[in-house]
Amino acid sequence: MLTQDELKRNVAMAAAEYALTCLQPESVLGVGTGSTVDFFIDAIAEHRHRFRAAVSSSERSTRRMRDLGIEVLDLNEVEEMPIYVDGADEIDHQLNMIKGGGGALTREKIVASVARRYICIVDESKVVERLGAFPLPVEVIPMARNVVSRRLRALGGQPVLREGFITDNGGEILDVAGLDIPAPAVLESHINDIPGVVGCGLFAISGADLALVSSQSGVRRMQRPGAGGADTIQS
């Protein structure tokens, strides 16, 4: 039986191989954050001469890439990227996601918006039939913490402040349990419209384009419905 770290390493290696098919010497690579992405950074660093630079969604990933010799640009210097590679805390079969367990959800969403394709890398434990078992992270401006919490409770959620945590943007995180999410894009839009919300961890208005899922039997691809048919095994 493969350990979770071995599953993460396998999908990270598959993602690096896929990324290299999309990158040119002048390309800028979008990179997310998290433990699975750490393995991806390690894998892609061996091929840093194959692309120009990267843009990162977190200070953590920026430090790791620079330590491995990858140039990291500010997003303001970049007009587009061929792909953005990141993990997820949950992903459904329509490639809607919950993200933000590491607290970088807002920057992840911003960087992903510049990429032509979003590649999600996960182990099989993150694939769900319906989002919501993982508490939904919501980044808020600190002065709005209580008013946003009241609005989230009105939606049926149970928000809890992530104690002692401040995002790279200076915001706070409310982790919201108990939400029923039959229509992820609708709920994402609703939460985004609450005054004081910087961003929420639902990635459904713009979900992933492709998911690479690591399992005991290998790494498989999940395509958005209508964008390629059944899952295939990644060699």
Does residue 34 have a known ligand-binding role?
Answer: yes
Does residue 123 have a known ligand-binding role?
Answer: no
User: What is the number of H-type helices and E-type strands within the chain?
Assistant: 6, 15
Does residue 89 have a known ligand-binding role?
Answer: yes
Is-contact 29 81, C-beta < 8 A?
A: yes
Does residue 102 have a known ligand-binding role?
Answer: yes
Is-contact 202 97, C-beta < 8 A?
A: yes
How many other C-beta atoms lie within 10 A of the C-beta of residue 26? 8
Does residue 180 have a known ligand-binding role?
Answer: no
Does residue 62 have a known ligand-binding role?
Answer: no
Whether 6 sits among the annotated catalytic residues: the reply is no
SS3 string of 116-143? EEEEEEEEHHHECCCCCCCCEEEEECHH
Does residue 99 have a known ligand-binding role?
Answer: yes
Q: Which of 26, 77, 90, 108 is catalytic?
A: 108
Question: Where is the binding site, in residues?
Answer: 33-36, 86-89, 99-102, 126
Residues carrying an active site annotation: 108
Residue numbers belonging to the annotated binding site for substrate = 33-36, 86-89, 99-102, 126
